[in-house]
Amino acid sequence: EAGVAQSPRYKIIEKRQSVAFWCNPISGHATLYWYQQILGQGPKLLIQFQNNGVVDDSQLPKDRFSAERLKGVDSTLKIQPAKLEDSAVYLCASSFARTSGVQQFFGPGTRLTVL
């Protein structure tokens, strides 16, 4: 079974530029999560989708971050314009269902460096 795919793996941009990350969850997984992991910290949820609807985006900086999940499968996370503090690893995860105890499967992440 293929895992969660993310691209690109690495991205370097200058502040005020825009960037987009792509995630393809495990086939059949209805729930998709984007986490931000700043160096030295644990991941923090940015947004959770159930199919193509948003469940929780309370920690998403909506003035610069946006996310969508077209057709309830792939998802894109965008930052525009980027700030220095956005340097982090962006992790995508998916789970089969919206059940709290169910396992979330993580992708390899995209490491973003903002100069």
Residues in the site for another protein, rule: CB under 8 A?
3, 31, 33, 35, 40-45, 48, 55-56, 89, 91, 93, 95, 98-104, 106-109, 111
C-beta of 31: minimal distance to another protein in Å? 7
Residue 38's contacts (CB-CB under 8 Å, 6 or more residues apart) are: 44, 87, 88
CB nearer to another protein: pick between 75 and 95: 95
Determine the Cα–Cα distance for residues 82 and 70; give it in Å rounded to an integer: 23
Hey, how many other C-beta atoms are within 10 angstroms of the C-beta on 16? 10
CB nearer to another protein: pick between 27 and 100: 100
C-alpha distances in Å from residue 43, one per residue of 1, 5, 88, 89, 93: 25, 18, 10, 9, 11
C-beta of 81: minimal distance to another protein in Å? 26
CB nearer to another protein: pick between 102 and 115: 102
